Copies of this chain bind each other. A is one copy, B any other.
Amino acid sequence: MRVLGVDPGLTRCGLGVVEGERGRVRMVAVGVVRTPSDAEPGQRLVYLESQFDQWLEKFGPDVVAVERVFADVNVASVMTTAHATAIALLVAARRGIPVVFHTPTEVKAAVTGTGRAHKAQVSGMVMRILRLTEPPRPADAADALALAVCHVWRGEAQASIDAARKALDARRVAT
């Protein structure tokens, strides 16, 4: 199973691809898509769309795992994060790739064993799990790798895909 983890954002969007199964996961790719904060909002989404699509085309993930963001922090940043998430959903859906969401707490718990882990603990465990000799670069994308690992690690991958496929099939039948 190959998973693309997405840490959604408009200024910086972390992307990380891992492959394998629980207990045996390797890193395939890691990166960050940046858009200038002074650019027109719609143009930033157009760029993000093209970059997401290139990653899906190049790495062909079986599933996309996105961080589920709650509206409990800065309103403006939550909105732009939600916009980036929408583009990921859209682009993946066009290719028929299921998208699953994991909360930051779920990611921390899956990777370190505790939902209250610090950033450094998560990064350290991601290095161990992926057998990296140094922290993933760019640092912004470490969270995306953790998300992807989380998805494999939690062993829920297949169930989520089945559920997404089922919803998709139900809609196809309905239309």
What is the total number of residues of chain A having a CB less than 8 Å from a CB of chain B?
A: 36
In the complex, what distance in Å separates the CA atom of A127 from the CA atom of B69? 40
Hey, which chain B residues are within 8 Å of A86, CB to CB?
Answer: 45, 82-84, 86-87
Those of A89-103 within 8 Å (CB) of chain B: 89-90, 92-94, 98-99
Say yes or no: is A155 at the interface (Cβ < 8 Å to chain B): no
| A84 and chain B: residue at smallest CB distance | B86
Residue pair A45, B167 in contact (C-beta under 8 Å):
no
- Please report A residues at the B interface, Cβ cutoff 8 Å: 36, 38-43, 45-46, 49, 69-72, 75, 78-79, 82-87, 89-90, 92-94, 98-99, 164, 167-168, 170-171, 174
